[in-house]
A and B are shown apart, each in its own frame.
Chain A
Amino acid sequence: MPDAATDAARDWPDQIYALLKEHDIRQVALVPDAGHSRLIKRCLADNDMKVATLTTEEEGIAMLFGAWLGGEKGVLLMQSSGVGNCINMLSVPISHRTPCPMIVTMRGDYGEFNPFQVPMGNATQTVLEAMGTLVKRADAPEDVAPTVNATLRLAFNTYRPTATLIGQRVIGAKTFGK
């Protein structure tokens, strides 16, 4: 009989989706990452969610801001490398005091095979925090849902950028078949 930990190992993307519904998220902005593929499929299948695939994560920070201005809640899904792309844009939620929840799947983190992913992966948390983002990590599958819940609550209740970093230990280190 599966215990809670093995359920979480399999189901954490579904648990995130349930949290997005619970928090009435209507706009999901993303640059795809393999670690988020199951969650993205759930969001695409949901008629109450508008999913926007972006050309760069910068657009997502602005789109979430526009959503909030118009009375809707959004979330940004991206890979750790995308964090590097949108750092200056975090001025938007900071200066306007608006929620900006981000769910980040890590690369360059735990058992990474691609040297190029390491510099940004290693700097992701530091750089986000330097821009005033409240960052929490989840390094075990059963920690993902409570951490994402905290990230959403902190964003929408305290009006600031927040992020959950989902460690590569949870996602599984990619090998491209090696």
Chain B
Amino acid sequence: MSVTTAHNAKRMYRFDLTKRLVAKLHRDEAVIGGIGHSNFDLFTAGHRPQNFYMLGSMGLAIPIALGVAIAQPQRKVFALEGDGSLLMQLGCLSTVATQAPKNLIILVMDNGTYQITGGQVTPAAGGTDFVAVARGCGLTSAAWAADEADFERLVEQGLATDGPHLIGLKLDEQGPAGQTERDPAQIRDRFMRGMGVKKSKLVT
């Protein structure tokens, strides 16, 4: 049996992976798109009421998803976080491992760069392996996706079994397929309606 590592995982196209993820969601799963191109591609893949797009403050997609996952234990919650963002808040992996929400699935979108600011390499260029870091933090269900088919298998496994899970995705250099509309209050309002926690007559 071969083992997928940070070195032999196929470098894949973020927008393609995002579309593959969304195509697997049939039970109103929540998806928290992290700052930058992670949420751009989530938005461009087609808005869902259960999508949240983080427009600012690096490193918070996973802690936000943790709060949602604790509040709604019956719903699967995905966090899409870039490698640069995760580096700002690596400690949150320990917090998640200790809280151990069964319904949380973290996707690390690792292109090795700050793509949105011009593609500068991150300080992890020396060889940080985010799946190994996650395992070291106590997230035992952490794996690199070998290729697109393996990613789909890992998403299905995440949906079907108790987590928390973490899936590492090595990305190619292609940019985002679009941009998210920038109205944070509206994004928050729509997401809360999608979560079924806001029932207001102020609809249209």
Contact = CB atoms under 8 A, between A and B. Distances in A.
Interface of A: 26-27, 50, 52-56, 58-72, 74, 88-89, 91-92, 95-98
Contacts of B59: 58
B71 A66 contact: yes
B195 A91 contact: no
B191 A69 contact: yes
A73 to B, nearest CB: 9
Contacts of B196: 71
Given A70-B72, A71-B72, A92-B60, A65 B67 contact: yes
B4 interface: no
A58 B66 CA distance: 13
A70 B68 contact: yes
A60 to B, nearest CB: 8
The CB with the most chain B CB atoms within 10 A, among A26, A56, A59, A95, is that of A59
B91 A72 contact: no
Contacts of B30: 70
Contacts of A54: 91, 95
B92 A59 contact: yes
Interface residues of B, number: 34
A70 B57 contact: no
Contacts, number: 112
A42 B20 CA distance: 45
B151 interface: no
A72 B71 contact: yes
A66 B94 contact: no
A55 B94 contact: yes
Contact of B91 (A26, A59, A88): A59
Given A54-B95, A70-B195, A91 B68 contact: no
B70 A62 contact: no
A27 B70 CA distance: 8
A71 B63 CA distance: 16
A72 B65 CA distance: 13
B67 A96 contact: no
B60 A71 contact: no
A156 to B, nearest CB: 14
A136 to B, nearest CB: 25
B197 interface: yes
A72 B70 contact: yes
Nearest to A95: B184
B185 interface: yes
Nearest to B194: A69
Contacts of A53: 95, 98
B67 A91 contact: no
Interface string B184-202: 1101100110011100000
A89 B92 CA distance: 15
Interface in B160-204: 184-185, 187-188, 191-192, 195-197
A82 to B, nearest CB: 14
A58 B59 CA distance: 9
A100 to B, nearest CB: 12
A52 B55 contact: no
A89 B65 CA distance: 15
A27 B185 contact: no
A47 B92 CA distance: 23
A62 B32 CA distance: 12
